[in-house]
Amino acid sequence: MACKKGSYFRNVTTGNTLEKTLDQVRDSYQGRHVRKLLRKKERKQKLVGVKNKIKSLFAKIWSLFYHREKGYRFQSRFVSMLFVGGCVVYILTVEFLFFALTLLKYLNYKLDQLGNTLEDLFGYLWQVSDDPDYQEFIGDLGNLTLAVEIVLIQATDVVYYSIIVSCTLSCAIILINILHMCTSFRKNLFTLYKGDDSLIPLASELSSINLCVGSIKFGGFQVAYLIWGYVILTIVLTLVCLVLGGFISVLIFGFTDWLVNKVLQIWPGLLVAIALLIIQKLLARFLFLQGDGQHLRLDNRRFYFIFTYFMFFYNIFLGIASCLLRIIKSLIFGIICLCRLDISTLPRKFEGFDPGFTAYKGYIHMEVAHTHPVVLVFIQLLYTLSRERKGLDPEPVESCKQQPDTKYSIPMKRAIRNRAAQFNWLVLYTLLHNPSVRIYRKGFIQSMRKAIKEGLKIPISDQPITDFDLVKLQEERDKEEQELAKTNKQNGATSPTIFNLAPVNFSENYKNAYSAHAYIDMKQSEKM
């Protein structure tokens, strides 16, 4: 079976037997996937020993970033796309860090130069006049300038470390997102293999043209979104680090009274809000629901409705704060997940307005349509057994996508001789046991049409009528007409009676196979 580039099977040369070929198909990735679907899930055994528990702990921690599926290999296009995106993010990180280092050196040089200039200026002004008040003013101005210089140096350090921290965190977050994208893509792929649309809408609900266009755009879109996500995340983290750095610097310089006053003003409201949330959860678990919250079955209904009415007014104020938290959470997760196309930043009903997610849907549906393991194994086995049954020459096949080094061979037996004769015997057997079927054969339909067109008798055979047969039938018809005319003349008839065999309207009788067969037999008996 020859396939285009990128398909799973292509022609190679090998001399494996049929049993070995089927074993190789079974041991391929697609075969193992199908076998896994047909097997029961194995129960996890309890780990014994400290060493195994430590390994399990590290495996769980690593699974937070990436979950490995044994035997699965990502598509080369997907891997190369993420590799290009990672390289671009790495280059941007190095460039930003180099910019931060250069900026710090430049600002320190300018601040040192400004400090030396101001120091010389204040020294000169101190020596110009002997007035004590003037000298005191110059001294205070010099101290103020020194304090400003210290603040500027501190601000420079805050900017420098903010850029370093933001660039490093952004790069780490993007790399973690890339690992999560791999896991999410594989999960979505397996989900669509099952026909589940809980994560990604099914292809039947979307346009094939849009899916194809989205598959084309996916690679470029993903790299571009990684770049934009890194830049925006770096800018936001830099601003956050600057705010935190400034806040810490203010505390370092001793400005703590305003912070204490703000905390004293805010903490009662926060404490009441937290207490109300805890009380609602405790009452819902131990008082309102049956089985300590295990079942969604109400208990103490009257108290439940009274408490709901009582908490209505308090929940209004909690909702105001909750709305602000919702906005903040949406901004945080939206910025973090902006670089990922497998997660839409819009709700499910408005995902169609997200061009990145639309491109992702097109790519994953294209992969599902051409890499479904169950379909590939079914076609491979069906093709192998079909070729073996027909007895055709061997046509080896190779799994060229998941396992490019594994070659599969499909040997066949000798071709069966006189296959046309075998087919004719099967047709004859069918017609003998189903005589009404013959009116649906191509030969009978052609014979009927030509007979109606030429004004001949309705044929009783389902064999095609040739030109020679038409000439022969026309000669027989002329001969019958001459004999009838001669007979009438001998009997003294004034004019010969010529029977005009007009075309027969067979459409009504042709609707039913049995009635058409009876009609043909009746016409044949009349002619005889």
Distances in whole angstroms, Cα of residue 342 to Cα of each of 180, 188, 370: 10, 9, 20
For the full predicted model, state whether its pTM sits above 0.75.
no
3-class DSSP assignment, residue 188 = helix
Q: Which residue has the higher pLDDT, 527 or 56?
A: 56
**Within a domain: residue 291?**
no
Distance CA 230, CA 171 (A): 7
Q: Indicate the pLDDT class of residue 20, thresholds 50, 70 and 90.
A: low
Q: What percent of the chain has pLDDT over 70?
A: 76
Q: Which residues have CB under 8 Å from 298's CB, separation 6+? A: 288, 289, 290, 304
**Within a domain: residue 522?**
yes
**Within a domain: residue 89?**
no
DSSP 285: I
Of residues 357, 407, 425, 381, the one with CA closest to residue 201:
357
**Within a domain: residue 454?**
yes
The domain in which residue 461 lies consists of 419-527
**Within a domain: residue 493?**
yes
Q: Which residue has the higher pLDDT, 121 or 502?
A: 121
Q: Indicate the pLDDT class of residue 203, thresholds 50, 70 and 90.
A: confident
**Within a domain: residue 519?**
yes
Distance CA 220, CA 503 (A): 69
pLDDT at 83: 92
pLDDT at 402: 46
Counts for the chain of helices (H) and strands (E), in that order = 14, 3
pLDDT at 493: 47
Distance CA 185, CA 359 (A): 13
The total domain count for the chain is: 1
Q: Indicate the pLDDT class of residue 236, thresholds 50, 70 and 90.
A: very high
Model confidence over 50-78: pLDDT tens digits?
777 777 777 777 777 777 777 788 888 88
Question: Mean pLDDT throughout 243-247?
Answer: 87
pLDDT at 47: 66
Distance CA 234, CA 222 (A): 18
Distances in whole angstroms, Cα of residue 278 to Cα of each of 272, 274, 297: 10, 6, 21
167-171, 429-433, 469-473, 481-485: least confident range: 469-473
- Which uninterrupted H or E stretch holds 256? none
**Within a domain: residue 425?**
yes
Q: Indicate the pLDDT class of residue 373, thresholds 50, 70 and 90.
A: confident
pLDDT at 420: 77
Question: Mean pLDDT throughout 434-452?
Answer: 76
Distances in whole angstroms, Cα of residue 146 to Cα of each of 103, 117, 190, 253, 344: 22, 12, 65, 14, 52
Model confidence over 444-469: pLDDT tens digits?
777 777 777 766 655 555 555 444 45
Q: Which residues have CB under 8 Å from 185's CB, separation 6+? A: 74, 78, 342, 364
